[in-house]
A and B are shown apart, each in its own frame.
Chain A
Amino acid sequence: MAILVDENTKILVQGITGSFGGRHAQLSLDYGTKLVAGVTPGKGGQLFADKVPIFDTVEEAVAATGATVSAIFVPPPFAADAILEAVAAGVDLAVAITEGIPVMDMMRVRAGMQGKKTRLIGPNCPGLVTPGLGEGSHGGCRIGIAPGYIHKRGKVGVVSRSGTLTYEAVWQLTNLGLGQSTCVGIGGDPINGTSHLDILKMFNEDPETEAIIMIGEIGGTAEEEAAAWAKENCKKPMAAFIAGSSAPPGRRMGHAGAIVSGGKGTAAAKIEALRDAGIEVAGNPSDMGQALVRAMG
Chain B
Amino acid sequence: MNIHEYQAKELFEKFGVATPRGKVADTAAEAKSAAVEIGSNIVVKAQVHAGGRGKGTFKNGFKGGVHLVQTPDEAAEIAGKMIGQILVTHQTGEEGKLVSKVMIADAVEIKKEYYLAVLMDRESRSPVIVASTEGGVNIEEVAEHTPEKIYHQVIHPLLGLQPYEIRNLCAKLGFSGDVAKQFGKLLQALYRLFIECDCSMVEVNPLVTTPDDRVLALDAKFDFDDNALYRHPDIAALNDPTEEDPREVEAKKFDLNYIGLDGNIACLVNGAGLAMATMDIIKHCGGEPANFLDVGGGASQEQVRNAFKIILGDPKVKAILVNIFGGIMDCDVIAKGIVAACQEVDLNIPLVVRLEGNNVAAGKQTLANSSVALISADTLADAADKAVKAIAV
* A101 interface residue per 8 A CB criterion: yes
Q: For residue B123, which residues in chain A have a CB less than 8 angstroms away from its CB? A: 220-221
The answer to whether A286 and B281 have CB atoms under 8 Å apart is yes
* B113 interface residue per 8 A CB criterion: no
User: What's the nearest-Cβ distance from chain A to residue B261, in Å?
Assistant: 7
CB-nearest residue of chain A relative to B281? A284
* A8 interface residue per 8 A CB criterion: no
CA distance A257 to B269 in the complex (A): 19
The answer to whether B125 and A110 have CB atoms under 8 Å apart is yes
* B14 interface residue per 8 A CB criterion: no
| Contact among B125, B198, B280 with A243 in the assembled complex (CB-CB below 8 Å) | B280
* B110 interface residue per 8 A CB criterion: no
* A150 interface residue per 8 A CB criterion: yes
Q: For residue A77, which residues in chain B have a CB less than 8 angstroms away from its CB? A: 230-231
The answer to whether A165 and B198 have CB atoms under 8 Å apart is no
Q: For residue B143, which residues in chain A have a CB less than 8 angstroms away from its CB? A: 262
User: What's the nearest-Cβ distance from chain A to residue B276, in Å?
Assistant: 4
The answer to whether A258 and B272 have CB atoms under 8 Å apart is yes
* A48 interface residue per 8 A CB criterion: no
| Contact among B272, B280, B358 with A255 in the assembled complex (CB-CB below 8 Å) | B272
CB-nearest residue of chain B relative to A218? B276
* B49 interface residue per 8 A CB criterion: no
User: What's the nearest-Cβ distance from chain A to residue B255, in Å?
Assistant: 12
| Contact among B228, B261, B274, B327 with A248 in the assembled complex (CB-CB below 8 Å) | B261
* A111 interface residue per 8 A CB criterion: yes
CA distance A102 to B231 in the complex (A): 10
The answer to whether B120 and A103 have CB atoms under 8 Å apart is yes
Q: How large is the interface on A (under 10, 10 to 19, 20 to 34, 35 or more residues)?
A: 35 or more
- Select the stretch in B30-38, B53-61, B173-181, B282-290 that faces chain A: B282-290
Q: For residue B358, which residues in chain A have a CB less than 8 angstroms away from its CB? A: 147, 149
CB-nearest residue of chain A relative to B380? A286
The answer to whether A284 and B280 have CB atoms under 8 Å apart is yes
* B211 interface residue per 8 A CB criterion: no
The answer to whether A110 and B276 have CB atoms under 8 Å apart is no
The proximity string for B residues 149-180 relative to A, scoring 1 for CB distances below 8 Å and 0 otherwise, is 00000001110000000000000000000000
* A194 interface residue per 8 A CB criterion: no
CA distance A218 to B376 in the complex (A): 30
The answer to whether B122 and A257 have CB atoms under 8 Å apart is yes
* B343 interface residue per 8 A CB criterion: no
| Contact among B122, B270, B280, B382 with A245 in the assembled complex (CB-CB below 8 Å) | B280
CA distance A27 to B328 in the complex (A): 9
The answer to whether A285 and B228 have CB atoms under 8 Å apart is no
User: What's the nearest-Cβ distance from chain A to residue B243, in Å?
Assistant: 14
Q: Which of B366-393 contact A (CB under 8 A)?
A: 379-382
A contact set with B: CB distance below 8 Å: 27, 76-77, 100-108, 110-112, 145-147, 149-150, 160-168, 171, 188, 190-191, 215, 217-218, 220-221, 241, 243-248, 251, 253-258, 262-263, 267, 283-287
29 contacting pairs across A/B (C-beta < 8 A): A102-B198, A103-B200, A104-B195, A104-B198, A104-B228, A107-B126, A110-B125, A111-B125, A145-B327, A147-B358, A162-B271, A163-B271, A163-B297, A164-B327, A167-B327, A168-B325, A171-B356, A191-B120, A191-B122, A246-B289, A248-B259, A248-B261, A256-B227, A262-B140, A283-B284, A284-B281, A284-B284, A285-B278, A285-B281
**Besides A146-B327, A254-B292, 13 other A-B contacts (C-beta < 8 A):** A100-B227, A103-B120, A111-B156, A147-B357, A163-B273, A165-B274, A168-B356, A220-B122, A243-B274, A246-B279, A246-B289, A247-B276, A285-B281
B contact set with A: CB distance below 8 Å: 120, 122-123, 125-127, 140, 143, 156-158, 195, 198, 200, 225-228, 230-231, 257, 259, 261, 269-284, 289, 292, 294, 297, 325, 327-328, 356-358, 379-382
In the complex, the 9 A-B pairs of residues with the closest C-beta atoms, listed nearest first? A162-B273, A254-B272, A164-B271, A165-B273, A102-B228, A286-B381, A147-B327, A285-B277, A243-B276
